[in-house]
Amino acid sequence: MDDVNRVLITSSGRRSYLVEYFKEALGSSGNVFAADCDPLAPVFGDCDHGFVVPPFDEDNYISSIRNICMDKNIDLVVPTNDQELRVFAENTDVFNENGTRILISEPRCIDVANDKLSTYEFLTSNGILTPFTTSNLDAIKRKINTNEIVLPVIVKPRFGSGSEDVYEASSMDELEVFWKRIDRPIAQEKLQGQEYGVDVFNNQDREPISIVPRKKIAMRAGETDKAVSVDESELIEIGKTVGEKLGHLGPLDIDCFYDGDNAYVMELNARFGGGYPLTHLAGGDFVTAAVSIGSGEKVDSRIGDFDSGIHMVKTYRIYSPELDRGLITNAKQI
């Protein structure tokens, strides 16, 4: 298989850091392209060329991405949005026949991660600690009435992303109100303790080769805004277990609570997570591993090979799309 020299990041939005990391991995001979449905996506100011495409839920989304890949001879596509992952997982053959690889897991893995009820069932069936989760309103009420679960509880969409439509119900009345407000709701036991994230990268054999835990210090819009890398053996073991049992390909972002003794897994995201910049800065270079996979090279294990105590603080630069190099003038409408 040929080396990866041209990468396309989809649903790229604010992920300029991924553009930067892939440029570093590819070197001066490589190109990094970005696609997004927003013509003012900030990433267009940093990529080699930007493409404005239809939203991922429209019928011509895949054909638009495929046309870009053919026109620009894209070697590797990196999807970054939860809702587009299943679409790409179902269409890998469409891209493979033209020599383009997709950094994507099988549909089974995507479904486990995207469906929070399936996540709960996957975790419990594999003996992994996780808060009680149900799509049955009566079931959560019974747990509360028998004191198996204490209020407050978390109510959120079964197929949601980020912090959108996530509520904390402190009474039965609030539980009823929030339940009616959300499309396909679930209720989840609220846990106490410190929130952590664990990034896990699986190679072609679906084996974990890099695991980096981080302690979350601050969140913004459901994404990690400030964090520090930590060397916690319990969290590394959780990452290894989830990675082996799920058998995904590439990056996986795990959200969990850890009280110093037990780690409870909350959610899974089968993509580069919002906290990935910290993993990268700490030495867990998933991007170079992704390029190696796209090139057909075996990626060896580097579990435990990262720096702890590295802090990440996200910042946002401000610029004008008309005056700066990118955005509108750098984006091609598809």
In this structure, the answer to whether residues 93 and 156 fall within a common structural domain is no
Q: What are phi and psi of 148, to 5 degrees?
A: -70, -30
Own/partner long-range contacts of 92-101 (Cβ < 8 Å, ≥24 apart): 94/62, 94/66, 95/66, 95/69, 98/66, 98/69, 98/70, 99/2, 99/73, 99/75, 100/66, 100/69, 100/74, 100/75, 100/76, 101/4, 101/75, 101/76, 101/77, 101/293, 101/294
Helix (H) or strand (E) holding 165: none
Going residue by residue through the chain, which has 334 residues, state the pLDDT in tens, using 9 for 90 and above: 579 999 999 999 999 999 999 999 999 999 999 999 999 999 998 999 999 999 999 999 999 999 999 999 999 999 999 999 999 999 999 999 999 999 999 999 999 999 999 999 999 999 999 999 999 999 999 999 999 999 999 999 999 876 789 999 999 999 999 999 999 999 999 998 899 999 999 999 999 999 999 999 987 766 778 999 999 999 999 999 999 999 999 999 999 999 988 999 999 999 999 899 999 999 999 999 999 999 999 899 999 999 999 998 877 666 555 555 444 444 444 4
- pLDDT at residue 333, as a whole number: 45
In this structure, the answer to whether residues 211 and 159 fall within a common structural domain is no
Does residue 127 form part of some domain? no
Does residue 111 form part of some domain? no
pLDDT digits (tens, 9 = 90+) for 289-323: 999 999 999 899 999 999 999 998 877 666 555 55
Does residue 276 form part of some domain? yes
Does residue 126 form part of some domain? no
In this structure, the answer to whether residues 72 and 185 fall within a common structural domain is no
Residue 160 sits in a domain of what CATH number? 3.30.1490.20
pLDDT digits (tens, 9 = 90+) for 136-177: 999 999 999 999 999 999 999 999 876 789 999 999 999 999
Please report, to the nearest 10 degrees, the dihedral formed by the alpha carbons of residues 319, 320, 321, 325 taken in order: -60
Q: Which residue, among 198, 186, 168, has the nearest Cα to 263 in the 3D structure? A: 198
In this structure, the answer to whether residues 329 and 265 fall within a common structural domain is no
Rounded distance, CA 27 to CA 259, Å? 42
Q: Domain span at residue 140?
A: 132-189
Residue 69 sits in a domain of what CATH number? 3.40.50.20
Does residue 117 form part of some domain? no
- pLDDT at residue 161, as a whole number: 77
In this structure, the answer to whether residues 24 and 100 fall within a common structural domain is yes
Task: Tally the domains of the chain.
Answer: 3
Contact between 149 and 139 under an 8 Å Cβ cutoff? The reply is no
Domain boundary among 152, 168, 189: 189
Query: For residue 118, how many C-alpha atoms fall within 13 Å in the half-sphere facing its CB?
Result: 14
In this structure, the answer to whether residues 180 and 277 fall within a common structural domain is no
Residue 197 sits in a domain of what CATH number? 3.30.470.20
In this structure, the answer to whether residues 196 and 283 fall within a common structural domain is yes
In this structure, the answer to whether residues 181 and 223 fall within a common structural domain is no
Does residue 214 form part of some domain? yes
Does residue 116 form part of some domain? no
